[in-house]
């Protein structure tokens, strides 16, 4: 395989991470981003690195998440050296709080189930108050030191900047409209002012990946899943941990003192707006965990479109039916956590034909039989 020159479509965290590892391997990379680097889901993200989030089952995704988690600390150091950008890696740890007896029972069961991994421990109400004095009266909770966070926007910028420093070409404001093909081979992309060719094209276009696949008649069923968030300007006595609330809502205290509250998970096509209802639900969840937040000032709110996949697994590897074309998308709620491992594995696979963790469970051809080309199944408001 040994790709020498590669076009990456999409300058989110996934495209930039692939560029970072490919340029490290000496590959000539061009990133084409129709907007700005990190301007979509990656810049909207909370940046939580959660390999042992409560609902992730044993299996290939958990293995990928754990491997991904291990790469982040040293990557943060390397990026600071290479770019002067601090990605604000923070070993926050997480508290999942039980506000009712029923929730406390559920969490006890969870701790039991996780006992072999030793990842979580039960914390009683008093200890909980010592850890986070501003918490609502709780029955207790679960503590895990293994959840950390970064500034997702900075991580994306740093990966892009480091790639450029190693020779990558970055073109922002350039949309890929279609492909240059030769038989069953993709040999480049069409852009507004012409075409560009390369030995390999990688689709890393986040929630817009399916539309690109359809240009070639391939089912890459990535679907936009809206997430709304808000940030409190809550500088008085900042929280020390990430707090997890009902419906997988969370409060993430950031290095700059802002408190991120997220996030909704909504299947509303490509509508990237916030809504009064969505933001109110976030405020309610935040105040149920930390009552004083009912009066806190909202500094900003925003929304982004996560790239979801039908089985919640990322889609990584060769696009079926087309030589010279591969995909890295569908990272849903874990794209920041998984960006470095995705970049590393995709680069290994493209330069050596194999990767240290098999891409087999994530291959796009798992959708080949069931993939729908039916225009009626397309999300609303989709455009390349």
Ligand X SMILES: Cc1cc2nc3c(=O)[nH]c(=O)nc-3n(C[C@H](O)[C@H](O)[C@H](O)COP(=O)(O)OP(=O)(O)OC[C@H]3O[C@@H](n4cnc5c(N)ncnc54)[C@H](O)[C@@H]3O)c2cc1C
Q: Point out which residues bind ligand X (CB under 6 A).
A: 9-15, 32-35, 39-42, 44-48, 175-176, 204-208, 212, 227, 229, 262-263, 304, 306-307, 329, 331-337, 384
Helix (H) or strand (E) run with residue 338 in it:
helix 335-352
Residue with Cβ nearer ligand X (135 or 205)? 205
Contacts of 187 (CB under 8 A, 6+ apart): 180, 181, 197, 198, 324
Residue with Cβ nearer ligand X (262 or 364)? 262
Residue with Cβ nearer ligand X (314 or 324)? 314
d(CA 363, CA 344): 16
CB of 22 to ligand X, least distance (A): 15
Distance of CA 164 to the CA centre of its chain: 22
Residue with Cβ nearer ligand X (33 or 140)? 33
CB of 25 to ligand X, least distance (A): 20
The total of other beta-carbon atoms located within 10 Å of residue 171's CB is 14
d(CA 218, CA 216): 6
d(CA 117, CA 86): 31
Distance of CA 332 to the CA centre of its chain: 6
d(CA 315, CA 105): 36
Residue with Cβ nearer ligand X (13 or 198)? 13
Contacts of 182 (CB under 8 A, 6+ apart): none
CB of 71 to ligand X, least distance (A): 13
Residue with Cβ nearer ligand X (176 or 198)? 176
d(CA 97, CA 249): 11
CB of 125 to ligand X, least distance (A): 27
CB of 196 to ligand X, least distance (A): 12
CB of 346 to ligand X, least distance (A): 12
Strand partners, 216: none
d(CA 14, CA 40): 12
CB of 102 to ligand X, least distance (A): 26
Residue with Cβ nearer ligand X (104 or 350)? 350
| Helical residues (DSSP H) of the chain, grouped into ranges | 13-24, 41-44, 60-83, 101-114, 125-131, 152-165, 209-215, 276-289, 335-352
């Amino acid at each position: 395989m040994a790709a020498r020159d590669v076009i990456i479509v999409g300058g989110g965290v996934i495209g930039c991470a692939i560029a970072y590892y490919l340029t490290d391997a000496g590959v000539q990379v061009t990133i084409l981003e129709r907007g700005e680097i990190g301007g979509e889901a990656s810049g909207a993200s909370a940046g939580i690195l959660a390999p042992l989030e409560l609902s992730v089952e044993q299996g290939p995704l958990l293995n990928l998440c754990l491997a991904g988690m291990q790469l982040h600390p040293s990557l943060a150091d390397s990026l600071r050296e290479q770019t002067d950008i601090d990605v604000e890696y923070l070993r926050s740890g997480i508290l999942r709080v039980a506000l009712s007896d029923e929730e406390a029972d559920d969490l006890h069961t969870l701790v039991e189930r996780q006992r072999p991994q030793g990842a979580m421990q039960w914390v009683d109400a008093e200890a909980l108050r010592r850890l986070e004095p501003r918490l609502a009266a709780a029955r207790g909770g679960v503590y895990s030191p293994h959840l950390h966070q970064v500034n997702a926007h900075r991580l994306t910028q740093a990966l892009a900047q480091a790639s450029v420093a190693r020779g990558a070409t970055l073109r922002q404001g350039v949309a890929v409209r279609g492909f240059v093909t030769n038989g069953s081979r993709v040999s480049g992309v069409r852009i507004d002012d012409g075409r560009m060719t390369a030995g390999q094209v990688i689709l890393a276009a986040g929630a817009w990946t399916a539309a690109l696949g359809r240009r070639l008649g391939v089912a890459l069923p990535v679907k936009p899943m809206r997430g709304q968030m808000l940030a409190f300007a809550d500088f008085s006595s900042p929280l020390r941990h990430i707090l997890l609330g009902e419906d997988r809502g969370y409060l993430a205290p950031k290095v700059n003192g802002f408190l991120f509250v997220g996030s909704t998970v909504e299947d509303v096509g490509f509508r990237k707006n916030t809504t009064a209802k969505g933001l109110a639900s976030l405020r309610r969840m935040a105040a149920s965990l930390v009552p004083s937040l009912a009066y806190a000032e909202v500094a900003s709110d925003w929304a982004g479109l996560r790239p979801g996949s039908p089985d919640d697994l990322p889609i990584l590897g060769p696009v079926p039916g087309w030589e010279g074309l591969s995909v890295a998308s569908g990272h849903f709620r874990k794209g920041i956590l998984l960006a470095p491992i995705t970049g590393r594995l995709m680069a290994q696979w493209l330069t050596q034909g194999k990767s240290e963790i098999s891409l087999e469970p994530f291959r796009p051809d798992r959708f080949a039989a069931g993939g729908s080309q039916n225009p009626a199944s397309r999300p609303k408001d989709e455009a390349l």
